Structure 1
Amino acid sequence: MSNQISPKYQMNIIQNINDKLYELFKSYDDVEAYVCKWQVFYDDFGNANFYIQYKDNEHKKIDLKKTLHQIDGETLLKIAIDLGLDTPDFIPSIPMFKNELKSSFETAAQTFEKAYCNVEKDPSLAIGLANSALESIIKAILKDKRVSIQYNNRDTLSTLIKNICKAFNINNDQSCPKEIRTIASSLISCSTAIEDLRSTKTEMHGKTKDDFIINDSLCAYFVVNAVSTIGLFLLNYYRNKYPAQARYVSTEIDPDDLPF
């Protein structure tokens, strides 16, 4: 992956990491302690993947930017994800999706944020959380009485996606080209596959030592990206089909509210 990260992008991500670390940690010591956790020593002679650089001869103030510039692109990307920074060049729809969720879907936003931050550290957990975030979004949409589709709060993703596709009529709308309907129908297949992964290939349900568990971050990237794409489409379709209703504010004065 590191050879796919351009120097220009690395410069940008280093600046973002620098700013975020000093926002999170107010002291040089804490910033240095965090960065040191990403060091990998290869032998007993102190050879490592990077070395801490300092601004002073006493080695009390880390020179964060100089230190970060020694770190390879793949590790920089992992640090950015760990800090919750957006990485649009690698997961393009993530920033848009996170912004959409924060505006109206707080529970799903928190779950998806955890999924995103665990892509590298715990791919199995990331996939399970991404599945849960998509479930939360669909349930929130189906609660809108205008959607007029009944569902059980215990429904899993495969059932929920079928219900919302039925509500939106996105895979049977004859006014859309056949190819669009085919892509829309694939939402069901894709979502069902994500649920199957969560149920059979992650630790979200009890597993034994002989069961296969996904530990490849590339698979987690793929699933998290798929969830963000599906989620963005469903959110935008919902908001177009069912625009937010303006709240009625009464201008009548209740005599009991008068101070005299």
Structure 2
Amino acid sequence: MNDLISPKYQMKLIKEINEAIWREFNSYEQVRYYISKWHEDNYDQNGFNDYYWENFKIVENESKKINLLATLNSMDGTTLLKVAIDLGVDTPDFIPSIPTFKNEVKSEYITAYDTFQKAYKQIESDPSLAIGLANSALESIIKEILKDNRISSKISGRETLYKLTLIIVKEFNLTDPQQPNEIKTIGSSLIAIGQAIEILRSDKTNFHGKTTGDYLITDTIFAYFLINSVATVGLFINSYYKTKYPKRQDQQVQSEESEDNLPF
């Protein structure tokens, strides 16, 4: 993973992480406590360890306070990415669809947004869990869209992602025989993606329980790949829905009134 993050992007990320940490924690002491939770070493207080190791160096200034910028620069790319995700710092150069997707779903699909946020934060620490949560987030978006009474298909609420994708692709007429072959291919590909995500969640993560010898996704790169795919598919489905079924006037007024009542 570290090899995938260029030095130039790491420098950009360091700047944004530095700013995010000082916004989040208002004292040198709190910043030091936070950074220390990411620090790992094999220090032996008895002095018997001849091979000292640490994952990054906590740098101090002349006053013995943490020099955050220098400390962040001593971190490897993978650790920087984990810290960025923990702080909610967007990483558009590494996961390009994520910031746009989060902005789109935040106001319209609260449950999906919360689930996706949890998935995003689990990418590095638990790729298997991240994949399962991303699957659930996409399910939530499609279910919410299918609640629209202008859509003929009705669901029971127990449908899996594959079944939901089949329904919404049919509603959008993406596989209609009258469509150009290229459009039908894209529609069929969306169904295949929905099915693949569901199978990964069911068979390659610990959501349904695993036994010794079962394959379990543990490589974070696959979690990044899948979550970026979920964001891309989610963006398309939501965009197509808003174009095909534009918000009615009464919904628009209700939405604006709701925004006016926000406490900020």
**TM norm structure 1:** 0.88
Q: 1:73 aligns with which of 61, 65, 77?
A: 77
Cα distance in 2 for partners of 1:216, 1:83 equals 22
Cα distance in 2 for partners of 1:71, 1:185 equals 43
| Matched-pair identity in % | 54
User: Contact (CA 8 Å) 2:174, 2:186: kept in 1 or not?
Assistant: no
Q: Which moved more, 1:107-116 or 1:183-192?
A: 183-192
User: Contact (CA 8 Å) 1:170, 1:184: kept in 2 or not?
Assistant: yes
State the secondary structure of the residue aligned to 2:107.
Answer: helix
Counterpart mapping for 1:16-27 below 5 A? 16-27=16-27
Q: Which amino acid aligns with 2:231?
A: S
Cα distance in 2 for partners of 1:209, 1:34 equals 36
**Deviations 1:69-120, CA, capped at 9 Å, x for gaps:** 1112222112112222111111111111000000211110000011011111
User: Contact (CA 8 Å) 2:57, 2:74: kept in 1 or not?
Assistant: yes
User: Contact (CA 8 Å) 2:123, 2:220: kept in 1 or not?
Assistant: yes
State the secondary structure of the residue aligned to 2:16.
Answer: helix
Counterpart mapping for 1:59-208 below 5 A? 59=64, 61-172=65-176, 174-175=178-179, 177-208=180-211
Cα distance in 2 for partners of 1:214, 1:10 equals 26
Aligned residues: 246
Cross-structure match for 1:15 = 15
Q: Which stretches in structure 2 are left out of the alignment for 5+ residues?
A: 44-48, 254-264
**TM norm structure 2:** 0.87
Instruction: Give the superposition deviation at 1:126.
Output: 0.2
State the secondary structure of the residue aligned to 1:145.
Answer: coil
State the secondary structure of the residue aligned to 2:211.
Answer: coil
Instruction: Give the superposition deviation at 1:36.
Output: 2.0
Q: Which stretches in structure 1 are left out of the alignment for 5+ residues?
A: 250-260
Distance 1:152 1:77, change over 3 A: same
Cα distance in 1 for partners of 2:55, 2:15 equals 20
Instruction: Give the superposition deviation at 1:173.
Output: 6.0
User: Contact (CA 8 Å) 2:129, 2:206: kept in 1 or not?
Assistant: yes
Q: 1:47 aligns with which of 27, 42, 53?
A: 53
User: Contact (CA 8 Å) 1:84, 1:116: kept in 2 or not?
Assistant: no
Cross-structure match for 1:255 = none
Cα distance in 1 for partners of 2:141, 2:215 equals 28
Q: Which moved more, 1:41-50 or 1:210-219?
A: 41-50
Distance 1:189 1:83, change over 3 A: same
Q: Which structure 1 residue ranges, 4+ long, deviate > 6 Å from structure 2?
A: none
Distance 1:243 1:173, change over 3 A: farther
Q: Which amino acid aligns with 2:23?
A: E
Matched, 1:246 2:249: yes
Distance 1:173 1:236, change over 3 A: farther
Matched, 1:227 2:230: yes
Cα distance in 1 for partners of 2:39, 2:57 equals 8
